[in-house]
Amino acid sequence: MDLAFLHPLYEHSGPWASVYVGTSRHTEDTPHERHLTARAMAGELAGQGADEATCRAVGHAIDELRHSSEPHGRALFARGGEVVLDPPLARAPQRDQASWAPLPRVTPLLELAGEDPVCIVAYVDRKGADFELRSALGRDEAGGVTGRQWPVHRTSSVDWSERHFQLRVENTWEHNAAEIADALAVSQEETGADLLILVGDDRERHEVRRRLPQRLHPLVVEGSHGAGSRLLDDDVDRARTEHVQAHAAAELERFLAARGRDDAGGAGAVEGVPALVEAAREHRIDELLIRPDGPDAHREVWIGEDPDQLALRRTELKTLGEQRSWAARADDALVRSVVTTDAEALVVTVVPGLDDDTPVGGLGALLRWK
């Protein structure tokens, strides 16, 4: 997951209020229930020591969610009487929760926002294509292509005089497929789509796929629906889920292959809090792997004001010259380091064929260099 959207959380020091609320059980007809949730979360923060202004800002933001049409929920991150970031959730939290801590509590966000691949669905026929942009939040039109409109149909004649016409039909198909592929490549670059779903008859789908740039081929899924049909939300969700699972399995396989030491004694991946703290201090983490139920995720580490100031013991930070320090969860401290060094993170779930304890302790990383 690209974590660039979390940068605002690390531009100011804490402490931070981190709140996760579900909206699936709330409707416009239940504003009182939303108000009770707002009061409960503000009260929970106050009980943990949050300042009055921040509690009030969080309570007001939750109250305002009664005007939201989001189906799942929202995360809220606040400090100094202001909600700094409030991303929507792709899945509802099991329960509403609030925490007040030196660092934002972001690991639940990585799990609830999830790997949410953005898709372009291309409805392809011989005359062109329509594009839809799909995400967990819904769908939007994303343009399309109007190709040559004639000739697009072959004749049934076997007369040799028809050969020229049949060749023109072939040329029209190939021209339109090339235009669709070019437009689809541009749309993918503009939107950053993770998945391209081609819908249409077999030949049209294959012709478009063949003309896409090679770098996009791993992103392509071909829908089984024929020309003129529309892909159901369930079909898109299934394709997106399979894409996420395949990506996670591939990254875990890469991690397992990289954590073995080479002939020079170096490894391309590490696991366990001590090794991860060292890698984070040296800005070597390329992708952080987090298994939320792992015991190391909530292990205590010590942090300073800067993201690379983290250690297993408070005395280590003093040795490094940091005079101010706070205790923090290991996963939150490592995510801060990853965000500020433009690395990525992956929430690990159970993958068939792999051990449930990968990475060991629940935290691991692929490294930028050994």
Residues 254-307 pLDDT 10s: 898 888 766 566 789 999 999 999 999 999 999 999 998 899 999 999 999 888
Q: How high does pLDDT run on average in the chain? A: 82
Torsion, Cα of 153, 158, 164, 169 (10° steps): 20
**pLDDT per residue over 181-194, tens digit each?**
888 898 888 888 88
**pLDDT per residue over 292-305, tens digit each?**
889 999 999 999 98
Between 17 and 188, the more confident residue is: 17
Distance CA 195, CA 188 (A): 9
Percent with pLDDT over 90 in the chain: 36
Inform me whether the pLDDT recorded for 208 exceeds 60: yes
Q: What strands lie across the sheet with 128-135, from one edge to the other?
A: 138-146, 128-135, 119-125, 195-199, 220-222
Task: Provide the pLDDT confidence category of residue 223 given band limits of 50, 70 and 90.
Answer: confident
Both tokens of 74, joined, read 């929202």
Task: Provide the pLDDT confidence category of residue 171 given band limits of 50, 70 and 90.
Answer: low
**pLDDT per residue over 56-68, tens digit each?**
999 999 988 876 7
Task: Provide the pLDDT confidence category of residue 160 given band limits of 50, 70 and 90.
Answer: very low
Inform me whether the pLDDT recorded for 122 exceeds 50: yes
**Nearest CA among 11, 35, 16 for reference residue 99:** 16
Distance CA 172, CA 152 (A): 6
Question: What is the rounded average pLDDT of the residues 113-138?
Answer: 77
Sort 178 into a burial class: Cβ within 10 Å, 0-12 / 13-18 / 19+.
middle
**pLDDT per residue over 302-315, tens digit each?**
999 888 899 999 98
Inform me whether the pLDDT recorded for 322 exceeds 60: yes
| CA dihedral sign, ordered 77, 112, 24, 246 | positive
pLDDT at 366: 95
Question: What is the rounded average pLDDT of the residues 113-123?
Answer: 79
Inform me whether the pLDDT recorded for 227 exceeds 70: no
Question: What is the rounded average pLDDT of the residues 206-233?
Answer: 76
Q: What is the pTM (predicted TM-score) of this model?
A: 0.76
| C-beta contacts of 81-86 below 8 A and 24+ residues apart | 81/51, 81/53, 81/54, 81/56, 81/57, 82/54, 82/57, 83/57, 83/58, 84/8, 84/9, 84/12, 85/5, 85/6, 85/8, 85/9, 86/61
Inform me whether the pLDDT recorded for 143 exceeds 90: no
